[in-house]
Amino acid sequence: MALRLYNTLTQQVEEFAPLRNNTAGIYTCGPTVYDYAHIGNFRTFTFYDLVRRWLRARGYVLDHVMNITDVEDKIIRNALAQKKKLDEYTAVYEKAFLDDSQLLRLERPERLARATEHIQEMAQAIQALTDKGFTYCSDGSIYFRIASFPDYGKLSHNDFSGMRAGARVDVDNYEKDDARDFVLWKAPKDGEPFWETPIGPGRPGWHIECSVMAIRYLGEIIDIHAGGVDLIFPHHENEIAQSVSLTGKPFVRHWLHAEFLLVDGQKMSKSLGNFYTLRDVLARGYAPEAVRYLLASVPYRKQLNFTFDGLKSAETAIERLRNFKARVDGEKFQPGTNEKFLERTAQSAHQFNSALDDDLNTAEALAAVFEYIREANIAMDSGEFRSENVDAARDLLERFDSIFDVLRPSAKRGSIPDEEIEALISKRVEAKKKRNFAESDRIRDQLAEQGIILEDTKDGTRWKRK
RNA sequence: GGCGCGGUAGCCAAGUGGUAAGGCUAAGGUCUGCAAAACCUUUAUUCGUCGGUUCGAUUCCGACCCGCGCCUCCA
């Protein structure tokens, strides 16, 4: 079965097929680097990562561009307050974003595109829109005239046809002809950074960067454009208006939107005090993989209520997966093949694939894996699992981990080295042989204090870091 | 008010016109020198409410109730 994805535009699940035979052109709305990204932002970014990984698993070559918005009102305000140059200010948060992404094992897109590095191209695009009659000027700023774009509202399924607000004043005190119109280019204001361009001095509005950079790197029609649901209106609606007006072609074939992460049943906000950055969560001692697992385990079109209980539950679930992997890798099985169980493994792999093909149903994919693990454990306990079943089990785990990527523990600082652990374990084995359980338990407790858990199996002692 | 998402066991959550996946938690048990890991058993006659269609609905239709989000800052 082919990969099927829900398309916000058509409100239907549609088969994915890229325009350029095997290459998927993807544009995702990235961070605005005015502050640390919070885990709600990372829910969406984790979703992008899953899209990437699953497309690759399905044989597509990725051509993925993500923007970094490094010029915008809040950035300018904060940079001014700290008396810093724009790029000096944004560099801190861009780095923080990339570091956090790495902790969450989010793959780097093929290209990261900074808004400030494409100002002249944006100016050109705005000029082109002006030449075609889609814009107007007001107080040195340039606006897009929504009245000139009849399809406005198609993505968000809003009907604006009856709505004709008169001239009004927006938050920036710029004059607009129509409430729906949005700014393409902002005239310079006192003390604020601006760029000299053929369309005059100023800085770009928010929406134009995505249209310009997407078209620049991916062509006029892109396969997938993704973001959070809050971007559907007005951001993506405005991107469509600009891009289609510019090229005369449909802009995007699949619009994908991730639902919100909630905290205490509400959208995260600083005023409610339910605002967590990744740093906040890790500072409480949770592993980054647990965050990744939690964010990935709830299908992206469903709101996800973040709780620390949920994180704990994610950690335990990961433990179970890792324990199983350790068993597959470390246990000695009787020689031979259990054909029936090979079939069972293939069935689980198929179930896993079908779940992800079905609009990235990660919950169902996980269920397939856990069900398999339970049955494999039973087969191992009863001796029905044979040495030649190991490879298939490993393949399944690898396929799982190529998407979820939680099996490898994150390095923890300050742990004792492996050799030291092994040495202590040998001492303990000796003590146990002599039935000196007091000594063997003492060693086990000593290791436990340092976060090392021992497991005695019929094939010897296995250990892991907690 | 318009648009969108959702209401399934203590918590998270999948799913189907034919009688409820999976994870976590809890209790009991098997295994173990004791643990750990693993396994077994138990936990929703029921899927927001009320109607309708149907031999049969959690799943389709209608109405209603509740939660969340967007409606020119926003993942």
pLDDT for A85-138, tens place per residue? 999 999 999 999 999 999 999 999 999 999 999 999 999 999 999 999 999 999
Q: Which residues 15-34 in chain A have a CB closer than 7 A to strand B? A: 29, 31-32
Residues A392 and A426 in one domain: no
Name the closest nucleotide to A159, judged by C1' and CA: B2
Of residues A259 and A167, the one with the higher pLDDT is A259
List pLDDT tens digits, range A190-201: 889 999 999 999
Q: What total number of domains does chain A contain?
A: 3
Cis peptide before A234 (omega within 30 of 0): yes
Distance A28 CA to B74 C1' (A): 15
Give residue A29's pLDDT.
97
Q: What is the pLDDT of residue A1?
A: 62
| Integer Cα distance of A79 and A32 in angstroms | 13
Question: How many helices (H) and strands (E) in chain A?
Answer: 14, 18
A398 found inside a domain: yes
Distances (CA, A) of A373 to A111, A215, A334, A360, A362: 38, 45, 19, 21, 17
Say which nucleotide is closest to residue A366, CA to C1' distance. Answer: B22
Spatial distance from the CA of A260 to the C1' of B5 (Å): 9
Once rounded to an integer, what is the mean pLDDT over residues A444-456? 89
Residue A168 has pLDDT above 60, yes or no: no
- Report if CB A347 to strand B is under 7 Å: no
* A369 domain-assigned: yes
Which of strand B's nucleotides are less than 7 A from any protein C-beta? 2-6, 11-15, 21-25, 32-40, 67-75
The pLDDT value given to residue A63: 98
Q: Which domain holds residue A460?
A: 418-465
pLDDT band at A174 (very low <50, low <70, confident <90, very high): low
pLDDT tens-digit series, residues A198-239: 999 999 999 999 999 999 999 999 999 999 999 999 999 999
* Structural domain contains residue A121: yes
Comparing A1 with A14, which gets the higher pLDDT? A14
pLDDT confidence band for A413 (50 / 70 / 90): low
- Is A22 in contact with A59 (CB distance < 8 Å)? yes
- For residues A146 and A197, membership in a common domain is answered with yes
> Does any domain span residue A289?
no
Q: Which nucleotide is nearest to A382 (CA to C1')?
A: B39
Same domain, yes or no, for A246 and A384? no
| A260 CB-to-strand B distance under 7 Å | yes
Query: Distance from residue A100 (CA) to nucleotide B64 (C1'), in Å?
Result: 45
Task: Return the pLDDT at A411.
Answer: 75
pLDDT at A146: 93
Burial of A33 (0-12, 13-18, 19+ CB in 10 A): buried
Q: Are residues A443 and A317 in the same domain?
A: no
- Nearest nucleotide by C1' from A230 CA? B70
Round the CA-based radius of gyration of chain A to a whole number and report it.
27
**In a shared domain, residues A355 and A332:** yes
- Over residues A254-271, the mean pLDDT reads 87
Are residues A17 and A70 located together in one domain of the fold? yes
CATH code (residue A15): 3.40.50.620
Give the residue among A297, A359, A253, A300 at the shortest CA–CA distance from A2. Answer: A359
Q: How far is the CA of A374 from the C1' of B57 (A)?
A: 32
- The separation, in Å, between residue A338 CA and nucleotide B7 C1' comes to 44
Distance CA A272, CA A227 (A): 24
Amino acid A317 CA to nucleotide B10 C1' distance, rounded Å: 18
Write out A243-307 in H/E/C secondary structure. HHHHHCCCCEEEEEEECCEEECCEECCCCCCCCCEHHHHHHCCCCHHHHHHHHHHCCCCCCEEEC
Mean pLDDT of A290-318: 95
Note whether A191 and A69 are same-domain residues: yes
Looking at residue A265, its pLDDT comes to: 81
Which window residues (194-213, chain A) lie with Cβ within 7 Å of strand B? Answer: 206
Q: So what's the ipTM on this one? A: 0.95
Same domain as A107, residue A14? yes
The whole-number Å distance from A162's CA to B74's C1' is 27
Strand nucleotide closest to residue A370 (CA to C1'): B22
Distance in angstroms: CA A7, C1' B63: 29
* Distance, Å, A302 CA → B50 C1': 27
Residues A171, A43 share a domain: yes
Instruction: Tell me the pLDDT of chain A averaged across its residues.
Output: 92
CA–C1' nearest nucleotide, residue A28? B75
Residue A266 CA to residue A259 CA, distance in Å, equals: 13
Output the pLDDT for position A165.
Answer: 44
Closest-lying nucleotide for A464 based on CA to C1': B36
Give yes or no for CB of A163 within 7 Å of strand B.
Answer: no
Pair (A180, A327) in one structural domain: no
Classify residue A279: in a domain, yes or no. no
Is residue A318, in this structure, part of any structural domain at all? yes
Q: Tell whether the model's pLDDT for residue A267 goes beyond 50.
A: yes
Residues A454 and A372 occupy one common structural domain: no
The strand pairing partners of A266, in sequence order, are: A263
Q: How does pLDDT run across A76-87, given as a tens digit for each residue?
A: 999 999 999 999
> From residue A331, how far is each of A212, A422, A452 by CA, in Å?
55, 18, 19
pLDDT at residue A435 in the model? 93
Q: Check whether A175 has a pLDDT greater than 80.
A: no
What's the CA A44/C1' B4 distance, rounded, in angstroms? 17
Per DSSP, A19 falls in state: S
A274 within some domain: no
pLDDT band at A459 (very low <50, low <70, confident <90, very high): confident
CA of A313 to C1' of B10 (A): 14
